[in-house]
């Protein structure tokens, strides 16, 4: 792959992430069901990490996590960076060892990213005595149920980028 293709591939992924974050901010944050709203960033990290090279997706997840840390409130500094980098490593492992990259692999990776994000968030909240872990676990389940169906539109948005710039 040429250097210019690498640049444009990640530029298009960054633009897709910006569009999805705009959808998150403008539409999904206002959509409340069961007291929670869908959360796209872990879904995005899972979908990209399932399709791309392990090192590149780790770097992209860390950069996206840093952007989320700068733009959103978290329980600890660098929470999204650490969570998304860990999710990218898990997704890369799944995509290379257990199943072929595709919609099913992206769905499993997004589910693991949502679960990892939710469990770590709940652990930090319960550690700081803000909420008990069982109460937070209920919210995690609801958030996953609302967020996981969004993998299809995210996958359909990211798949053409992957197909256009895949390594040959």
Average pLDDT of the chain? 84
Collapsed DSSP state (helix, strand, coil) of residue 29: helix
- Domain segments of the chain: what residues? 3-165
Considering only CA atoms, which of 43, 22, 17 is closest in space to residue 106? 43
Fold for domain 3-165?
A: Arp2/3 complex 21 kDa subunit ARPC3 (1.10.1760)
The pTM for the full model equals 0.85
pLDDT of residue 167: 59
Considering only CA atoms, which of 2, 24, 5 is closest in space to residue 13? 5
Q: 80-91, pLDDT tens digit by residue?
A: 999 999 999 988
Residue 36 has phi, psi (to 5 degrees) of -130, 165
């Amino acid at each position: 792959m040429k250097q210019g293709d690498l640049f444009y591939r990640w530029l298009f992924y960054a633009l897709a992430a910006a569009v999805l974050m705009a959808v998150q901010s403008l539409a999904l944050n206002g959509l409340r069901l069961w007291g929670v709203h869908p959360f796209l960033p872990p879904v995005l990290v899972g979908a990209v990490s399932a399709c791309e090279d392990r090192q590149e997706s780790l770097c992209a997840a860390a950069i996206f996590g840093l952007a989320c840390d700068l733009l959103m409130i978290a329980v600890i500094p660098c929470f999204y960076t650490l969570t998304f980098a860990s999710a990218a490593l898990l997704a890369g492992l799944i995509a290379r060892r257990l199943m072929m990259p595709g919609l099913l692999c992206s769905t499993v990776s997004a589910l693991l990213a949502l679960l990892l994000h939710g469990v770590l968030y709940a652990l930090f909240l319960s550690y700081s005595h803000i909420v008990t872990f069982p109460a937070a676990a209920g919210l995690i389940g609801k958030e996953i149920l609302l967020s996981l169906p969004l993998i299809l539109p995210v996958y359909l948005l990211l798949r053409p980028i992957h197909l256009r710039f895949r390594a040959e």
